[in-house]
Structure 1
Amino acid sequence: MPGGRLTQQERQQIALGLADGLAYAEIARRLDRPTSTITREVMRNGGPTAYRADLAHRATERRAHRRRQAAPQGAEAPAQAYGRDAEAVREYEETFTTVLMGSGMPTMMSRVMACLTLTDTGSLTASDLVQRLQVSPASISKAIKFLESQGFVRRERDERRRERYVVDDDIWYQSMIASARSTAQIVEIARQGVGVLGPDTPAAARLENVARFLDFVSESIARAAEQAREILHTKTGPTSVPAGTARDERIPGQA
């Protein structure tokens, strides 16, 4: 299996495959590349409907140039816990980020969510995130506010009174419930519209159909989330942190 960056010819083959409606796995097989490589390439360059080989190639060259300029002389990748391959972890984090972006999450929010999710403790401070992602504190603050509003992260204080941002097993449940509540609000507004537009009009009939569909979906999401939480979610003690892992990644006093 070839390694290294995608060539311009490979990107052209990706574009042709997308135009033919091929799945990422099939494009990857034809290029003898991992499916994750194709997924990341497409999602970070416009998605399946907007991917352009020449634009993607130029964008990749610009990103590589910026990384070379930003990297300090003699800098080395930080040691990884559990003997992980640092480059493989970095590539996977990029893939995870691009998939979140493909689901509709904005870029910076996706980067923060991926960074938090892939830490062993699932907990970082704002300064940790600034250092890891090399962005401004304002960018982190904005991303956290968005993620918190969607139920993806929660805040807590450690023994040094620092604010930490946390993702854990319960976060995905909370996010699903928040999504169900948001959908339920659309149902309520749609049914208000039926009264405003008149129950016997085409527009009102359309709104009623929307309300029925979304009502069924939101109830199903909430029910499934409750069932999954009851069956799958278990409370665990503090995660043991292997030697060499920074103390700032621990969650003091975790229940």
Structure 2
Amino acid sequence: MPGGRLTQQERQQIALGLADGLAYAEVARRLDRPTSTITREVMRNGGPAGYRADLAHRATERRTHRRKTAPPGPVAPEQPHGRDAAAVREYEETFTTVLMASGMPKMMSRVLACLTITDSGSLTAAELVQRLQVSPASISKAVAFLDEQGLIRRERDERRRERYAVDDDIWYRSMMASARSTAQLVETTRQGVSVLGPDTPAAVRLENIARFLDFVSEAIARAAEQARDILYAKPPAPAEDPTG
């Protein structure tokens, strides 16, 4: 599997693949690249609908130039469990770009991704500053936003330091919030039916939209309730070695 930066020709192939409706995994297979490389490339350069090969290539060249002229940063700490530090950084960047594509601001996405892939699931403000190489003010603003959205929780460690932790329940709450938002849209859409007249083309369109969204909203809420326990599942115990 080839490594290194994507070439301009590869970016053109990505753009063609997206135009043909290919999944990231299929584009990656055709280019003999990791799927995460294609995902990160697309999401950081406009997303599936806005990706342009020439613009993406120029943006990458600008980022490369900035990295070459920037002062060297601290050496990344050794990864636990024998992990590949470069692979972890690449995955964290991919996770961040996908969160951004969902509508979350960049710094909030970086903090949430950093917390999520940390084994402890919690870090202090100083640890976040060191890991992300940003200012304390940036971290403060990001955690305030994430806390307000219910995506993280604040806690104190044995040294009375405030820590920010990802809550195992955040994805459940996120799904339920999405279902409530969709339900509100259903209600508003149906209000339009009575305003426009039940037998008019516009009202029929709104009613069909409402029925579709109502079904989706109920399905999301029901699935989230049924699957909630998965968020607290413990990994299976390792099998015992028969050789002792």
TM-score range, shorter chain: 0.7 to 0.9
Show the counterpart of 2:107. Answer: 108
Residues 14 and 27, structure 1, Cα contact 8 Å, conserved in 2: yes
What amino acid is aligned across from residue 12 of structure 1 in structure 2? Q
Distance (whole Å) between structure 2 residues aligned to residue 117 and residue 217 of structure 1:
28
TM-score, scaled relative to structure 1 = 0.78
Show the counterpart of 1:244. Answer: none
What amino acid is aligned across from residue 170 of structure 2 in structure 1? I
Cα offset for 1:104? 3.1
Show the counterpart of 1:136. Answer: 135
Cα RMSD (Å)? 2.6
Distance (whole Å) between structure 1 residues aligned to residue 160 and residue 209 of structure 2:
47
- Correspondences of 1:201-212 after superposition (within 5 Å): 202-212=201-211
Residues 126 and 136, structure 2, Cα contact 8 Å, conserved in 1: yes
Cα offset for 1:115? 0.9
CA separation of 1:127 and 1:209: change in aligned 2, threshold 3 A? farther
Residues 150 and 175, structure 1, Cα contact 8 Å, conserved in 2: no
Residues 153 and 167, structure 2, Cα contact 8 Å, conserved in 1: no
- Correspondences of 1:178-189 after superposition (within 5 Å): 178-189=177-188
Cα offset for 1:81? 1.0
What amino acid is aligned across from residue 55 of structure 1 in structure 2? L
Show the counterpart of 2:18. Answer: 18
Show the counterpart of 1:234. Answer: 232
CA separation of 1:159 and 1:192: change in aligned 2, threshold 3 A? farther
Cα offset for 1:187? 2.9
Show the counterpart of 1:61. Answer: 61
Deviates more, 1:25-34 or 1:187-196: 187-196
**Cα offsets for 1:27-78 (capped at 9, x unmatched):** 22222211211111111111222222222122112222323344437x4221
Distance (whole Å) between structure 1 residues aligned to residue 160 and residue 200 of structure 2:
58
Runs of 4+ in 1 over 6 A off after TM superposition: none
Residues 153 and 165, structure 1, Cα contact 8 Å, conserved in 2: yes
Q: Percent same amino acid at aligned positions?
A: 82
**Cα offsets for 1:96-121 (capped at 9, x unmatched):** 12222233333222222211111001
Query: Which of structures 1 and 2 has the larger relative contact order (alpha carbons within 8 angstroms, sep 6+)?
Result: 1
Unaligned runs of 5+ in 2: 235-244
- Correspondences of 1:89-238 after superposition (within 5 Å): 89-194=88-193, 202-230=201-229, 232-234=230-232
Cα offset for 1:233? 4.0
- Length, aligned pairs only: 234
